[in-house]
Structures are given as structure tokens and as C-alpha cells.
Structure 1
């Protein structure tokens, strides 16, 4: 039997805020004698909100009251009330993703989104969210090809490369439409991050000087080429390396790209050109034209995504399952409940490597994921390992011990396994830690990248732990 649930997706970025309402169709795909597994079988967007400038209080702090007011108005326009919405997601990106902003927004939106997933995304994680939201990941999976998605916004460009649906590279560069701003024909702002590009191009621009499209075009043309260099389509220059955002990791791509696609506010003008270069008081349309006309884009199989400026989550699906008594292992019941912890997953090969004690890449990637998610803790989700030997479990426990050392001192080590080996893994970890750190290890839980998990208080004298898995849904 298929059920429909109403879900809301809210995106709060440095420059813009938007909301989408969708109807998700869910169905229990498990047999009568197995643990329930509710899958999302279809989705339908029923309302697309306006694109708003994100209200700022001061500096980089969001005006959370104004954001909440915008969303209240959007609820009215969509014809929905908070009581009608079963689930949803709030994604906070860019400068808006700072912890203080995330906390303020969560507090002010509690009446609209009390049970929503509220996720902060650093620049690299934002690249992945945009690539999924634009449909680039799905496109690469369905056609077994390599797609690079460039999410070109106001201050940065977030880049993700997918090969046959798997993420191969991600990064962030200081290339954006609002790095130079214009008002009444005069240049009113030049970002210090453009200093190297301006110097190399020799563009004759200055504050309060005339906004000359010819001079500014020299800058935007170079910015467009830097994007091509970032994924290896063009040969990388020192200027490309200097343009990488400070918070970004290294983007490692071999340049073998079958298709390129663009999302973000600037992308609308790549696919729908405008010669009103300063329409929004910045160089966004001019940068879009430089990208559209660049040779590397023309030769790289330009594909128009399903979403551009709205390339983000459209909501979150939620299903509940409970774990049988024989599969539960935790060191202290006081750690429960836990809510909205992001699940960290890797490929089958990376998981298999853990069984031989090889976990260096796994651990560095986990620390990156925790940092990008803006959370103090993550859940290590093991979805591919089956029937490990006791020796392999001990190797796995050693690596998880190292993972625990990277967590803040008071945070528990949280692990979920798809297969039935959590009990032995959990007991091995409890012995190794000497109960100096809390351990939670559960199995029969399947999670994928982008999931958020709640653990309830144990029931039946600790035999059962209620678990809620929430999956971010992309358009």
C-alpha cells in the first residue's frame, strides 16, 4: 500500500532564500517476515516559492526573525499549515551556515519546522547538495557518464564531479556574480578576493569608477576559464590555485568530463541569456555570458539541469524502524535520545578495505564530512560489510577507535550496520575503550549518504532502540 506525505524543503543561502513544497509517495518494500523498509517511490513538486534575498542582521549574521516571516508568508501562498506537513528539511549554506546562524534559524522556525532536518553545509558539502539538486548525479548514473556541475552563486562556485552516479571530486572557488557590485553605472564594491584576477588581466576598474562592460568582461572571461581549469578541462594555472576558497579541500579531477552543467543564480543567465549586464546590481549576467561563450564549455557537452537557482533539497522523507534485542550494543543508556545526526557512508570498496585494517582515507574523509556538516558528531553507517570474521571485526574496531579519537571528548561513538554484526563490534569497542567513551552500535539499519538519524530512548529494559531515518530528497 502506497501513502502520500507532504514535505517542505527550505534553502537559506548567503544571497537567497527559497522554499519548495512536495508530495512524496512512500511504500513498505520489505516482505512480511523482515524488518520494515519504507522507500520513496515517487515525488511531485506542488509549489515553488519566490526567490528572496536572505535578510541580514549585521555582518554575516542572518536576520532569523525576517527569515521566519518570509517562510510564514510562503506557507500561506502554498495553501498549507504546519499541521499539514509531516516532514521536511532546512539546508543552510555559505556564510549562513555558521553555527550561530543555524541555531538562530532553528529557534525561530520551531513553529514551522519543529521536526525538520536542519543541516548546515560547508562549501564542499554544498557542492554535493547542488550537484544532486540539479540532477547531475542522477544524469551521470542513468547514462553511465561523467558530469561536472558548477553551482555559480554570488560569492563562490561550488563544483562536484560525478561518475556513473558516484562522487569523484568536489571543491569551491572564489568565482561569483556579486564579487563586483554596480549601482547607477558606478562600481560600488570590488571583493578583495578578485585582486589576483584583476592584476593579471590588467582590467582598468576602480571603486566609484564607471562600470565599463568591456573592462569587466576581461575579468569575467578569466573567471570562466578558471572554472574550466578547476576540473582539468583546461590546464591549471597559478591563478586557478589562488582562486580556490580557503575552506575548500583539493579538487582532484583528471579532466575526462562527458558533460558540464551549471546551477545557482548565475546559471539562469547561461541558459537564458540577458544583455542587461548589471540587471541585479552586480556582474552576474556578464559572468554567465562569459561562461556560455567560452570554448571549453562549448566543447564539453553543455547540459541544462532540471533546476538552476533551486538546485537543492525539496524535502525529507522519514520512516521508522526498530532494532531487535540481539542486535543492540550500547555502553550507557544515558546517551539517548539523539536527534538529527548525519550518516557518513562510503563506497563498497572503501568499506571492504576497513576489514584489513586500511582506514586512513576513511578516517580523513569522515573528519571532512563532520566539519562540512557543521555538527559535533556523525553516525558511521556500514552498509556493505557482510559476515565479517572475528579478526576482521577487530580490525574494524581498531579503525573505529581512531575515528572516536577525532570526535569531541564528550561525544559518543555512533555506528549503524546493515548486517547482523553490531553486537560483536560494539562489545569489542567497549572493551577497547575501557568505557572511557560511550558507544552505540546498532544493526539492521540501512542508511545512505544524505540521511539523518534519530535514536530514541531504549525500550523493554534496553532490548529495543527506536530509530528514525530521514532521507533528504532532491528534485
Structure 2
């Protein structure tokens, strides 16, 4: 058995948090079968306090203060950056759209161990929040479909799990900090900030919500009722809102569930206001979070569904980032010595038809796709993602390897490696076939990893005596 230390750092619209976890791995195969390395245990060792994300302006994160927060929590936990072998620094919600979002991730690179992922955008967050909340495990334990709605300050990340499989995901600009308020000057608060999404919801509600104007609590509730209807429509338990398409977060998947979600789990900061409708002042945070939570809790469509309560709400994303971002490759892989780790590798995903054309010798097709892909990404490097073939013989794999090496060797920069990721369990044999082509580049072939177009991939140093590598499939979407 092996153990690694994982860190999760979540910089959200409203809050910033840090979590440290221990991950255990072991060979779960029998004595007379091929090794099968799996993650066998996860333990949260330390949770930081919840900080408000420090901002310089509405469009700039305070990088120095974020660094100070993370540094202080490393010290409080008793760890150093060199202690961490895996994990994620994830920037989410409206924070991912701040002008210096990419610079913030770069500024935190000193705190990242050798294989700590930097990621931005809604896709990965939807999944890890759903895992961190407990919705994913519930879908496995009960063999059912669960929709997890992670409602933060700026966005709502939605993911559908069916018995542990991700059915679909999407992200909407619905959150508790989309209208910020000054409640110190009278019964009706003054609006100090209103986002585009909130302004659109206000129009649909027939409410005036301009920065600097006063707004009543009843009008704020009308805006939040529009948001609640939009979320209900997005998970198929109510008609689709006229606003939904306009609130779709840039970079989000477009997903319509085939049938309504009958089990719903909430996470994120607003979830606490859904599960615990409080008699306290509903403007206590200077935003619409508590009012939005109450609007969702009292929405008829949501009331008619079975709501499950996960183990984490406001910490779901950071717990997921610290314990669920890293997956393991298959145990029969091939790689050149010293090729790993690699980070932020853009993935070119071939269609099934393209894969078959290349198999039958159309190397030019792959060359054209690779050249186009490198130009589009303005990057000298990439990895090739394939579905793979069902039970291919070695002669077939040699044809595929010949086409791959001829195309990539002619397009990649001089020192860039050839890395192939396949879904099916054929990586070892394909890797040997790649090596036998005589190409002098460093090469790697790993399997049991599913990649989609537009993904970025991080691959860490081999673990468990070189049998597997840690892999993270992610997005990098800013602005």
C-alpha cells in the first residue's frame, strides 16, 4: 500500500478555503492476475477556516492576500508545499472571470507540489463538487440518478450522476453574490453591485435593480424566485426558463437531462441557506444568498422532489479538489524514462471515424488535424486521445503506431514527446508498437482514461513501482 498527501485550494466568488487529505492506493488484483492499482482510501486531515475571497476591485482578485491565506493555512496544518504530491488549486465561479485570474493561479504555483493541478472553469468543478458533497457516492450506494447543484457566490454548477457515472453537467450564472447590498442605511438596502445575470433576472421579474438604487426585500425575493425557476428548469423538474440560455456560464456544457432528476443534493455556500432557512436577518452577508436559499427551499418544483443532504455544503468543492481530482491510469502502460510529470497538455481527441481512417493508412488526415490543433492552441505540444480498438492484434496496433509517429514526429516541436491516451486497455501493446517504429522521441501510452475535446491533461510521476500514473483531466477557462 502507498500513501500520498493531497491539497485542495478553492478560490471561489465568495470564499477561499484549503483542505489537506491523505490518499491510499493498493493493488486490488489477485495473486495470479495482472496488477490493478486503485485508490482504496481517503482521509481528510485538515480543513481551513472559510475566508471571504479578497478582492482589490470588482474585476481584480487581491493576489497577495490570497497567497497570505494559503501560506498561513500550510503553516497551521503543519505541511510544506514539498510535502504534497497531488491535489488541485481551482479558481471558480466569477473569480475565474477576473482580469488577473490566470495570474493568481501562477502566483500560487510556489505552494503547488510536483503534481498539484491548476484549473479554472466550470466542468471539473461541477464533478468534484458533486463528489465532495456526497451526491456521487449516494448515486452509487442507491443505484440511482442524483443531480447535485453546487450554488456559490457567482455560479451554480450542476452535475447528474447515475450509479456513479457522470451523465451530464452544466453551469449557470446563478449565485448568492450576484447582487451585493448595503443594508446600513434604512429598511430598503442600496445595491452596491449587480451582475449581468442578476440584471436579466430582475428584468424578467419586473424589478428595478440598478447599482446605487434602493430595493425592497420583496423585490429581491422576486429576482431570486426567477433564479430558482431557472435552476428547476435546468434539472428537468419544471419547464425550461426563458432565461436559462442567457445565464449559461461561458465554457459550460449544454446539457438537457433525458428525464427529471428525482433526487437532488445541494452544496455550496447557498446550500446552508436552503437546508437551514434561518430567522436571522436575510441581509446579514450583504448579498442575496440567504434570500436565494429560501426561494429555492420554498420553490414548488423543488419541494416536490426528494432532497438528500450530503456531508459537505460550503466545503464541497475544496473537499472534492483535495480528494477527487486525481485518478489512476490503467496498470498496463508504457512510458519513456523521465517523460513525466507533464502539465496542461492540450488534448486532441479523434473521432471514431478519424481513428479508423488513420488505421487504414491515412496519415495525412492526422497531420492536418495536428497542425490545425497546434495552431489553434498556440502551443508547441499536445497529446493524442483515442477511444482505442476492441481486442486488436499486434499487427493492427503496429499500423496505428506507424501512422501516429509519422504524423506527430513531423508536426511537434523538436523536444516534445509523443503521448497517446486511450480509453481501452491496450496502452502497453500500443506503446511497444510506438517504440518499434524507430521514432527517437520520448513516448508514452496510457489507458483507462476518458478525454473529451477541449480538455487539458496533467500526468504525474509513476506510482506503485511504476505500475500506474496519476492523471487529471481538466479545463482551463478564464475570462
Classify the TM-score, shorter chain: 0.7 to 0.9
Number of residue pairs aligned between Structure 1 and Structure 2: 436
- Does residue 421 of structure 1 match 2:429? yes
Q: CA 1:261/1:320 → structure 2, altered by over 3 Å: closer, same or farther?
A: closer
User: Equivalent residues in 2 for 1:409-448 (5 A)?
Assistant: 413-417=418-422, 418-419=425-426, 420-423=428-431, 426=434, 440-443=443-446, 446-447=448-449
Unaligned runs of 5+ in 1: 457-463
Q: Structure 1 residues 51, 145: CA separation in 2 closer, same or farther (over 3 Å shift)?
A: same
Kindly report which structure 2 residues correspond to 1:50-449, keeping only aligned pairs within 5 A, or say none: 50-57=49-56, 60-82=59-81, 84-97=83-96, 101-102=101-102, 104-110=104-110, 112-183=111-182, 184=184, 185-275=189-279, 276-312=281-317, 313-315=321-323, 336=339, 338-341=341-344, 377=382, 380=385, 385-389=389-393, 393=397, 413-417=418-422, 418-419=425-426, 420-423=428-431, 426=434, 440-443=443-446, 446-447=448-449
Separation of aligned partners in 1, 2:160 and 2:358:
25
Displacement of 1:318 in angstroms is 8.8
Q: Is the 8 A contact 1:277 1:286 kept in 2?
A: yes
In structure 2, distance between residues paired with 1:25 and 1:375:
35
CA deviation profile, 1:288-324 (whole Å, cap 9, x unmatched):
1000111111112111122111112224669899988
Q: Would you say the 8 A contact 2:115–2:341 is kept in 1?
A: no
RMSD: 4.5
Distance in 1 (CA, whole Å) between partners of 2:380 and 2:305 is: 37
Give, in whole Å, the separation in 2 of the partners of 1:29 and 1:186.
Answer: 59
Distance in 2, matches of 1:258 and 1:194, equals 28
The CA deviation at 1:251 is 1.5
3-state secondary structure, aligned to 2:260: coil
Structure 1 CA distance for aligned equivalents of residues 311 and 42 of structure 2? 14
Give the deviation of 1:21 after TM superposition: 1.8
Question: 1:412-463 CA distances to partner (integer Å, 9 max, x unpaired)?
Answer: 55214533431476379x79xxx8x9783425x554679841368xxxxxxx
CA–CA distance in structure 2, aligned partners of residues 101 and 395 of structure 1: 44
Structure 1 residue 42 corresponds to structure 2 residue 47: no
Structure 1 residue 166 displacement after superposition: 1.5
Instruction: Provide closer, same or farther for how the CA distance between residues 160 and 24 of structure 1 changes in structure 2, counting only shifts above 3 A.
Output: same
Runs of 4+ in 1 over 6 A off after TM superposition: 32-35, 316-324, 342-346, 350-355, 394-401, 407-411, 448-451, 464-467
Q: Name the counterpart of 2:460.
A: 454
Conserved? CA contact 1:97–1:121, under 8 Å:
yes
Deviation at 1:398, TM superposition (A): 11
Superposed CA deviations along residues 168-188 of structure 1, whole A, max 9, x for unmatched, are 221111211111111122222
Is the 8 Å Cα contact of residues 435 and 443 (structure 2) preserved in structure 1?
Answer: no
SS in 1 for 2:224: helix
The 3-state SS of whatever aligns with 1:149 is: strand
Using the size of structure 2 for normalisation, the TM-score is 0.75
Is the CA contact (8 Å cut-off) linking 2:11 and 2:92 kept in structure 1? yes
Relative to the length of structure 1, the TM-score reads 0.75
What is the alpha-carbon distance in structure 1 between the residues aligned to residue 457 and residue 433 of structure 2?
22
